Chain A
Amino acid sequence: MKSKKAQMEIMGLVVIFILLALLSLVFLTFALRPKISTTEILRTSTKADNLLNSIIRTTTSNNQKMLDLITESYINSDFTHLKQEISKITYKTLPHRQYSLKILINQENILEIGSCKIGISSTKTIKHQDNLFKFILLIC
């Protein structure tokens, strides 16, 4: 009789422990899930917009407009200088952040820098010298 009562009490204790363990697991799952705050999204989105805007407008170190440098690189099929110039800009404006910049001329993908696949994007389309330029900047 006493042994049965003790067994029942142990069973009750085990049930309580299981319930507690389950509750802790649920709590930890929610608590440890990485949270992306709206502030961070807003900031990254504005950063992407401003940066893309700045890249498109800038005059390069050779006193050449960026859009002219892109056109020249496209005509000569040599993007080394363009890549270097863009890297100089992103090195200082996006330190320690992954990004990808895609440039299309008349729907043709001419250049892709960086390896970011999913992130906050900014897109701009500009007409320059009868060519339609499309820029897509993605910040991870």
Chain B
Amino acid sequence: MPAQQFTKKSQIHMTETLAVLIIFMILLIFALFIYFQYSYKSLEKRGFEFQETEYSTLLYSLTDSPELSCSKENCIDISKIVSLKQLNHRLKNKEIKIEIIYPEPLQKRECNIEDYSKNNCNLWILPSLKKTNNKIVVNTPISLYYPELDEFKIGLIYLTIYQ
């Protein structure tokens, strides 16, 4: 076999190997890109989940805090909310909203101090000093205690954290 033919054959082999390497590299880069995208999204999701857990725990601990809890277990004393409203208390970057859902109030509007023990409003709000569009809201049903009436109502407590 002449030497020139050998060179041509080895050149073809070299090109073939190079092509395979290039294709392999492209596939590898593509796979790595997809993997990192997936990992990043999964990390982001886990981070969000951890944040939600943290805020949910904070929400659940609210019902045990002396500022809001009632004399019985796991409920909120509405008279304390009224007192906080009277003081015009504002939270730093958190908003607490209590929606009365049962028995259904006659009107759907924000409650004032005068509305305490009346059934004509459905929202008690302790506003935040800071308000942004980037926020996380967690909620849970809660028992609302009216000490003067010695009655319990059912509400939903929302904790909004502005970031």
- Which residues in A have some Cβ–Cβ distance to B below 8 Å? 37-39, 42-43, 46-47, 49-51, 53-55, 57-61, 88-89, 92-93
- Which residues in B have some Cβ–Cβ distance to A below 8 Å? 49, 52-53, 56, 60, 63, 72-75, 101-104, 138, 140-143, 151-156
Q: Count chain B CB atoms within 10 A of each CB in A42, A46, A50, A60 and give the residue with the most.
A: A50
Please name 23 pairs of A and B residues whose Cβ atoms are closer than 8 Å in the assembled complex, sorted by A: A39-B56, A46-B56, A49-B74, A50-B63, A53-B74, A54-B142, A55-B154, A57-B72, A57-B143, A57-B152, A58-B102, A58-B153, A59-B103, A59-B153, A60-B103, A61-B102, A88-B102, A88-B104, A89-B102, A92-B156, A93-B101, A93-B141, A93-B154
Given A49-B74, A50-B141, A54-B152; 10 other pairs, CB 8 A cutoff: A39-B52, A42-B56, A47-B140, A50-B63, A53-B75, A54-B75, A54-B141, A61-B104, A93-B141, A93-B156
User: Main SS of the interface on chain A?
Assistant: helix
Residues of chain A with a CB closer than 8 A to B138's CB? 43
Residues of chain B with a CB closer than 8 A to A57's CB? 72, 75, 143, 152
Residues of chain B with a CB closer than 8 A to A46's CB? 56, 60, 140
Residues of chain A with a CB closer than 8 A to B73's CB? 53
B143 touching A47, Cβ below 8 Å: no
Closest A residue by C-beta to B53: A39
Residues of chain A with a CB closer than 8 A to B104's CB? 61, 88
Which 3 A-B pairs have CB atoms at the shortest separation, nearest pair first? A57-B152, A54-B143, A61-B103
In the assembled complex, the Cα of A43 lies from the Cα of B141 at a distance in Å of 11
Least Cβ–Cβ distance between A42 and chain B, in angstroms? 7
